[in-house]
A and B are shown apart, each in its own frame.
Chain A
Amino acid sequence: MAMADIARTAAVAEVAAPVLRVTDLQVAFQTPHGRVSAVNGVSYEIRPGETVGILGESGSGKSVSVGAIMGLLDSPPAEIGGHVYFRDTDLLNAPPAETRRIRGDRVSMVFQDAVTALNPGLTVGYQISEMYRVHRPGTSKRDALNKAVALMDQVKIPSARQRVRSYPYEFSGGMSQRIMIAMAIALAPDVLIADEPTTALDVTVQAQIMQLLTELREQTGMALILITHDIGVVAETADRVMVMYGGRVMESGPTAEVVARPAHPYTIGLMNSVPRAEMKHEKLRTIEGAPPVLTAMPSGCPFHPRCAKRQPECSRDRPSLQSVALGRESACHFAAEVLGA
């Protein structure tokens, strides 16, 4: 299975040009306590049909990085640098009128908490059909509503024809997330960003939503960026993974390889803190300490205060992201040793 994944990733990589290229993304915020940096030099690209997982704890900058891509950060206070190319358009620097047409249409997003991300005052039918009315001017109200019903069927909402006139509060959390997904895939986007799409849901519903997203990606050939703190979800669905910590990329590479042989102590820590069925009487292992606050970022490697393998230089020199194997990078001074261990 792992080999098949690697083979598929390689095949995809050879065939298609990237649909989204993020280069040296920087996000900082002006706060009363000074300027704080939330995302620092994040680069990646994604090709059609590919799934990239962005893995990290809260505060790692994973959500902020996609907020910048989707134009959701107000500046001020946000200061955004770098480039995000969708095909040939730089989403960070192109005129707002141009990027607005791409957002929701070619690049769309599913939010963490669907219940608050849906407008409580408008019917779900209106909100889904609005995608066509806004991005496909000339679509009649009736056409758009019929398409909304079809989409609700596609995301497996029972009796869609009746429920199209319902308000969000009449739906469960899982059903609300399906409606968010319906809106996001309405115009068959090239890139779908899912920001913790299952965090607010019950475990059984989580699996259904992940399965739905995977199916939709397979049907449409869209690229999927999956943001999560759950390494299990990444392992199951993502072709490639990017591990973030303190606004920086700690490690990246094909998921199967990263999970099999992590190249960064933080990744090891994340994997060890996953509860397993066989560890009945063992205490759940966690990473000591807490993620850094943005206003007090540690010197050197941002992870060094919590790192089991830290050496004196870790607090002095910040390790840069280096290639450690084919298609794999790690930002650890001792990546080679970690990988070899």
Chain B
Amino acid sequence: MISAITGGYFARRLLTSIIMLVLVMSVVFFADRQIGDPARMVLGTTATEDDVRELRERMGLEDPMWVQYQRFIVGMASGDMGDTFRYGISKPLNHGEIPDSRKTLPIAMDRLPPTLLLGGATILFSVIVALPLGIYAAVRPRTFGDRMVNVLSLAGVSIVEYWFALILILLFAVQLDWLPTSGYGTAAHVVLPALALSLRPIGRITQIARSSMLDELAKPYITAARGRGIPLRKIASVHALKNAAIPIVTTIGDETINVVTGVIIIETVFGWPGIGALTVEALAIRDVPLIEATIFLLVLMVLAINLIVDLIYTVLNPRVRFGA
């Protein structure tokens, strides 16, 4: 019975996600046709108007807007979002490797694993650091340790991450020569970009973990648990954390989404061959179908994260299963 209600709840959430996806992608569709003429970009300033128009026709940009839009929506639904403009016309993308296909979606999907690796490492590291810090600070409020955690987490949310990324490169790659400046392939390569990206999530998750744990630790059921002789460690890590978890999970979800958008800059800084770097490349050359495919995947990731967070809510709060 519970699972039937949960199932209905998720059917509704899934439907809203799909509507969100279509709306966001529609904005992308209209916006990326306003950022300059891709055909002129390919052919250069010396090309004739006729040549440009002919290429625009081949790119499908001369069709009426509603025809293009229809093609775009059908493309998303069928998983074929068109051919890249540049590949086959000039130099291949993907750092000189020739993609198997000119189809934009497979090209973009190829770049997904590095991004998932970087994002996953970042969030995992952030949670492992931030959760104990927040709990540690909450169980001894107004002590020296608590104040130190406060200062550190405030610094975490205040420092701009691409600046921090450059400092990390200067220190650990250039000065100390411990880690590679950029690139992809070994475990050492993931350290600096993940560190740069995790700064903000660590700060935010620590702050929220501390404040929601403080709220819970002041509640009567905590006093009652102390009266039952339950060790403080268990009171904090089981009793309070279970109830403090919802705001913490929400924050972890929000920060995961921030990491997904943050990779666009950080991957470029570190030469990380992920979907963020590909998005920047596609934008730079006005490769409209490729822009759409990369953003499609990024939006899909964001919506998936939101769905996962909702799923975790139902596990954490028994009442969500019954409510709307």
User: Which A residues are within 8 Å of any B CB, using their own CB?
Assistant: 70-72, 100-105, 108-109, 111, 113, 116-122, 130-131, 134-135, 167, 169, 180, 183-184
Contact = CB atoms under 8 A, between A and B. Distances in A.
Contacts of B234: 134
A114 B129 CA distance: 36
A130 B230 contact: yes
B227 A104 contact: yes
Given A72-B227, A103-B227, A135-B229, A121 B220 contact: no
Interface stretch (B5-13, B181-189, B316-324): B316-324
Interface string B284-324: 00000000000000000000000000000000111100000
Given A113-B220, A117-B220, A118-B224, A134 B229 contact: yes
Contacts of A101: 229
A70 B318 contact: no
A111 B226 CA distance: 12
Contacts of A71: 226-227
A132 to B, nearest CB: 11
Interface string B263-276: 00000000000000
Contact of B316 (A100, A121, A184): A121
Main secondary structure of the interface of B (DSSP, over half): helix
B231 interface: yes
24 contacts: A70-B226, A70-B227, A71-B227, A72-B223, A72-B226, A102-B229, A103-B226, A104-B229, A104-B230, A108-B227, A108-B228, A109-B224, A109-B228, A111-B223, A111-B224, A116-B221, A118-B221, A121-B245, A121-B317, A121-B318, A122-B242, A134-B234, A135-B229, A180-B224
Closest 6 CB pairs of A and B: A104-B229, A104-B228, A121-B242, A117-B224, A103-B229, A116-B220
B229 to A, nearest CB: 3
B243 A119 contact: yes
Given A70-B227, A108-B228, 10 more contacts: A70-B226, A72-B227, A104-B230, A109-B224, A111-B220, A111-B223, A116-B219, A119-B225, A167-B319, A169-B318
Nearest to B228: A104
A71 B318 CA distance: 31
Contacts of B40: none
Contact of A119 (B226, B239, B317): B239
A8 to B, nearest CB: 29
Nearest to B225: A119
Contact of A131 (B228, B242, B317): B228
B193 to A, nearest CB: 36
A140 B157 CA distance: 44
Nearest to B316: A121
Nearest to B243: A121
Interface string B157-173: 00000000000000000
Interface in B205-250: 219-221, 223-231, 234, 238-239, 242-243, 245
A171 B239 CA distance: 19
B227 A119 contact: no
A134 B227 CA distance: 13
Contacts of B317: 121
Interface in B186-207: none
Contacts of B224: 109, 111, 117-118, 180
Contact of B227 (A111, A113, A130, A135): A111
A87 to B, nearest CB: 16
B229 A169 contact: no
Contacts of A103: 226-229
Given A134-B231, A167-B318, A117 B221 contact: yes
Contacts of B229: 100-105, 134-135
B243 A120 contact: yes
B242 to A, nearest CB: 4
B318 A119 contact: no
A184 B225 CA distance: 11
A104 B318 CA distance: 27
Nearest to A113: B220
Contacts of B231: 100, 134
Contacts of A167: 318-319
Contacts of A118: 221, 224
A116 B242 CA distance: 15
Given A134-B234, A167-B318, A119 B228 contact: no
A103 B232 CA distance: 13
Given A113-B220, A116-B219, A122-B239, A169 B227 contact: no
Nearest to B229: A104
Nearest to B230: A134
B213 to A, nearest CB: 13
Contacts of A169: 318-319
B71 to A, nearest CB: 50
Nearest to B221: A119
A33 B242 CA distance: 36
Contacts of B318: 121, 167, 169
